[in-house]
Structure formats: C-alpha cells, structure tokens
Amino acid sequence: MKILLDECLPIRLKYLLKEYDVFSVSEMGWRSLKNGKLLRAAVEHKFDIFLTFDKKLEYQQNLYSFNIAVVVFIVARNKIELLSHLNPKFIEISSTLEKGKSTTISN
C-alpha cells in the first residue's frame, strides 16, 4: 500500500508506518501543489492513501472524483506524540479504506 503524507504532518510519522510504502509531499517535490493538484498528482503516481491533518480538505475538494482514500487525523496539534496514538487505529482500518472517500481518525 502506497501512502502520501501531507506536508502538515511530521515526517517522523513515516517511520511509524513501516509496513507501508510511505512518502512525504516534500520527498515527492510537491510542496508547491495545493489540494486538488496535490491529490491529482498522488493519483497519477498510484498512491492509495493520502494522510492529512487538514479537516477542511473534504469540504474543499470533491473527493469522489479522486481515486485515492483520504485519512484525516483529528488531534489537537500535529505533533508526533499525539499522532502516534492514532497509528494502531490507522493500521487496523487501512485495508478497508475506500478510494474517493474521507475517513477521520481520532482518540
């Protein structure tokens, strides 16, 4: 499973997801791309899941038109210490995520 980490998430999250192929927006050279263009690039490069902290994304974009699952982490701050607690939930549901839809994960 190929996962793209939004630039608003700490890169260290990548190392908690060892069982996946995880790339950051920065690693892909896509820091200048915003929302729709970023999702299109992710789909073109065959990413399965886009992880973000941006709660507004699902309201700003028509996710049904993108062949990628979006996961929004709901935490007070995008700190690795808070996100690491959500990791087991993500791993548990990752195989059931549907492309074109958004899923939120919180404590």
| Dist. CA 7–CA 62, nearest whole Å | 20
Q: 102-106 and 21-24 as β-strands: parallel, antiparallel, unpaired?
A: unpaired
Q: Look at residue 67 in the predicted model and tell me its pLDDT.
A: 93
What are the tens digits of pLDDT across the range 14-41?
999 999 999 999 999 999 898 889 999 9
Residue with tokens 């074109």: 100
Query: In terms of Cα–Cα distance, which of 68, 72, 47 is closest to 58?
Result: 72
Percentage, residues of the chain above pLDDT 70:
100
Q: Look at residue 65 in the predicted model and tell me its pLDDT.
A: 84
Q: In b/e form, how buried is each residue of 63-92, taking b as 16+ CB within 10 angstroms?
A: beebebbbbbbeeeebeeebbeebeeebee
What are the tens digits of pLDDT across the range 51-75?
999 888 877 777 888 999 999 999 9
